[in-house]
Homo-oligomer: A and B are copies of this chain.
């Protein structure tokens, strides 16, 4: 946890934006796996973590923005529970750790809220338990747009101590990625390597920020199956990241050859993706829009694919019409923080766009999660990729879509190429940007060097 001051200051700053009201933040409760007392691994709610840092189940936080008071609701363990589960921090101590001045048992929560005359504000919920709680407490009155916007405003700008937490937390992620490269060899199973890198994170007490993507079918963008056996000549795409001790995400992708050596065709596509990222970085500074960075990466993709004979025509026209999205169908990146897609539950457009109307409905660009002007303290991913997606190629070819820009005939021999993505996490600084975490092999030489000794 950060110091009590940090959480007090965050609550103070939030309270200033909501005039004389009540803010209700429920913490998460355990989710049963297959019967009531057998639970899935606990994950605290990110907003709750942000405003009080307490990583325990069954807590609730009420802030009074008029008085500035906060109350923590929760229950101490009974002696019986201590015998079975061991002791835990008392609610009084928890309140102290988070700089909260009042604490009460959960049974008082409903009465406490109902007594309040001020308006009550809460955030959109994503779990059924919390949705039900909100219905019970507030009879279907919706979440508060004011509160949503204030929280997004506040969480979007990462403070120095948050950046240190993310930076240091990424040591485990970097080692996970190196371990994956060292374990990769023809004949290994995807599942084996996935288990070992997740186990590595767990051995440091870290959970993963999202389900691992580790596949020779890298062209399937959110592929969470691990049933393939790795074969020489294939590329494998590893998109994975551990949470920091305080549950800040990391989100890194590397793509590398199963046999440790890129072939000529793989090298050519890899170079283009690397170049897309390199050029996008140049747009990463305060005042520039991330949409422009995305479009720049798209134009680099078209240039590169033209040089390989896979695309044709004028680069600007191809990008304007979205022809590159056959190969680069997703956005360049997204905000990252306590959530890997930071605050996505509060509304993707509110987080990533200055104005909702700015969001394109063009295939590809429509998936861009972050488009707005960058500010110092933003933490985001930069993750260009190029993919050969048989389903999509067949669909576009049949529809004669973007025939002026795509050489469908030449594409046939790439159908089993898979996909390449390179992803890093950066913070926007006053001067530009800084890549977070320790370096992870990324150039062809670095990757081939690390994999040289694989049996």
Q: A85-B223, A192-B203 are in contact. Are A43 and B35 (CB under 8 A)?
A: no
What 7 pairs across the A-B complex have the smallest Cβ distances? A199-B199, A195-B203, A35-B345, A195-B202, A128-B128, A86-B220, A128-B129
Which of B37, B198, B341 meets A344, CB within 8 Å?
B37
Which residues on the B side are within 8 Å of A329 (C-beta)? 83
Contact assessment for B199 and A195 in the assembled complex, using a CB-CB cutoff below 8 Å: yes
Interface string of A335-355 (1 = CB under 8 A from B): 000111101110000000000
Instruction: Tell me, rounded to whole Å, the shortest Cβ–Cβ distance linking A55 to chain B.
Output: 12
Instruction: Tell me if A194 is interfacial: C-beta within 8 Å of chain B.
Output: yes
Most buried by B among A32, A196, A338, A340: A32
Instruction: Tell me if A187 is interfacial: C-beta within 8 Å of chain B.
Output: no
Instruction: Tell me, rounded to whole Å, the shortest Cβ–Cβ distance linking A346 to chain B.
Output: 8
Contact assessment for A194 and B203 in the assembled complex, using a CB-CB cutoff below 8 Å: yes
Instruction: Tell me if A115 is interfacial: C-beta within 8 Å of chain B.
Output: no
Instruction: Tell me if A36 is interfacial: C-beta within 8 Å of chain B.
Output: yes
Contact assessment for A126 and B32 in the assembled complex, using a CB-CB cutoff below 8 Å: yes
14 residue pairs of the A-B complex, CB under 8 angstroms, read A33-B43, A34-B45, A35-B344, A36-B126, A36-B344, A79-B391, A79-B395, A86-B223, A128-B131, A191-B205, A194-B203, A195-B199, A195-B201, A205-B226
Copies of this chain present = 2
Instruction: Tell me if A392 is interfacial: C-beta within 8 Å of chain B.
Output: yes
Given A35-B344, A40-B41; 13 other pairs, CB 8 A cutoff: A34-B43, A35-B341, A35-B343, A38-B210, A79-B395, A86-B220, A195-B203, A197-B199, A198-B202, A199-B199, A199-B202, A199-B203, A205-B226
Contact assessment for A127 and B128 in the assembled complex, using a CB-CB cutoff below 8 Å: yes
Instruction: Tell me if A141 is interfacial: C-beta within 8 Å of chain B.
Output: no
Near B by CB (< 8 A), chain A positions 102-153 give: 126-129, 131-132
Kindly state the interface size class of chain A when it binds its partner.
35 or more
Which of B31, B32, B34 meets A338, CB within 8 Å?
B34
Contact assessment for A132 and B126 in the assembled complex, using a CB-CB cutoff below 8 Å: no
Which of B192, B204, B345 meets A195, CB within 8 Å?
B204
Give the CA-CA distance A419 to B84 in the complex, in Å: 13
Give the CA-CA distance A46 to B85 in the complex, in Å: 26
Most buried by B among A127, A222, A341: A127
Interface string of A199-240 (1 = CB under 8 A from B): 111111100001100000100111111100000000000000
Give the CA-CA distance A253 to B156 in the complex, in Å: 46
Q: A83-B391, A203-B191 are in contact. Are A34 and B339 (CB under 8 A)?
A: yes
Give the CA-CA distance A339 to B200 in the complex, in Å: 27
Give the CA-CA distance A205 to B204 in the complex, in Å: 21
Contact assessment for B35 and A126 in the assembled complex, using a CB-CB cutoff below 8 Å: yes
